[in-house]
């Protein structure tokens, strides 16, 4: 894999010139050009600085073919998701995804769910109802994690909320290595909204239907995320959702 091509790809994604990147990195424009041509390799401190500036994991920048966008996103399809029952929990923390996923994994073990069905599907979605002051002052975010409960599984194990999801149509995209860069997941959502000719989500959610959710899994040694957006929960007029 070409490190130089990745640097060029990330620079163009950020919409800055070689001259601008050179100024940021305190090097000459010729140095940037030689980095991108793979004539020379940036020093370690420069690699770290590039990783921080582009909000990209260092090992991904060095090893992955980041410009191969056709390998990152699948085609968008519309699927009918059958009704299901779920056990869910929400957390508001600086790192809610990891925290609530760990909590739900522990619940799934203790409740007997993973013994009943070892490959039980865990999904998640953002929880938007966070007081602005908590977000701006303390970096608090919200996230919900849920396990889809298979037919025949019964438990009274506490610590979760049980809820029912109605059958609904969802637009779905698969993202490879979704956590490689901070904008990869957001761009997946954007691609679906564009395909639906939508500007965002309706302000009032549908009763008994999730507006969107995510499913992370491993396949052929690669982390993947399926993003689901309910086709009836998007707005084709100005809405409050902002993915910029």
pLDDT tens for 17-33 read 999 999 999 999 999 99
The per-residue pLDDT for 195 is 86
The structural domains of the chain, ordered by start, are 3-64 (1.10.260.40), 77-235 (3.20.80.10)
Backbone angles phi, psi at 229, to 5 degrees: -125, 125
Find, among 138, 244, 144, the residue nearest to 186 by Cα.
Answer: 244
Instruction: Identify whether the C-beta of residue 12 lies closer than 8 Å to the C-beta of residue 54.
Output: no
Q: What is the DSSP letter of 73?
A: B
CA distance 18 to 89: 46
CA distance 111 to 208: 24
- When the pLDDT of each residue in the chain is averaged and rounded to a whole number, the result is 91
Residue with tokens 């100005």: 238
The per-residue pLDDT for 67 is 67
**pTM of the complete model:** 0.72
Distant-in-sequence, close-in-space partners of 224: CB < 8 Å, separation ≥ 6: 174, 175, 176, 177, 178, 216, 217, 218
Residue with tokens 């992955």: 64
């Amino acid at each position: 894999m070409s490190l130089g091509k990745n640097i060029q790809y990330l620079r163009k994604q950020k919409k800055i010139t070689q001259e601008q990147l050179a100024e940021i990195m305190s090097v000459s424009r010729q140095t940037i050009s030689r980095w991108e041509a793979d004539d020379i390799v940036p020093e370690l401190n420069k690699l770290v600085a590039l990783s921080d500036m582009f909000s990209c994991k260092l090992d991904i920048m060095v090893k992955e073919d980041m410009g191969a966008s056709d390998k990152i996103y699948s085609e968008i399809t519309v699927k009918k998701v059958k009704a299901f029952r779920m056990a869910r929990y929400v957390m508001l923390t600086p790192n809610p995804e990891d925290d609530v996923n760990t909590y739900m994994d522990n619940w799934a073990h203790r409740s007997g769910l993973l013994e009943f069905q070892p490959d039980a599907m865990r999904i998640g979605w953002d929880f938007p109802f966070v007081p602005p002051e908590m977000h701006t002052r303390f970096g608090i975010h919200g996230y919900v994690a849920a396990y889809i409960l298979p037919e025949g599984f019964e438990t009274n194990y506490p610590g979760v909320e049980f809820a029912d999801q109605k059958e609904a149509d969802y637009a779905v995209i698969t993202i490879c290595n979704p956590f490689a860069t901070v904008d990869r997941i957001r761009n997946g959502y954007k691609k679906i909204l564009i395909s639906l000719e939508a500007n965002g989500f309706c302000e009032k959610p549908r009763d008994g239907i999730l507006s969107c959710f995510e499913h992370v899994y491993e396949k052929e040694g690669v982390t993947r995320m399926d993003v689901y957006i309910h086709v009836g929960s998007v707005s084709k007029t100005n809405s409050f959702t902002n993915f910029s």
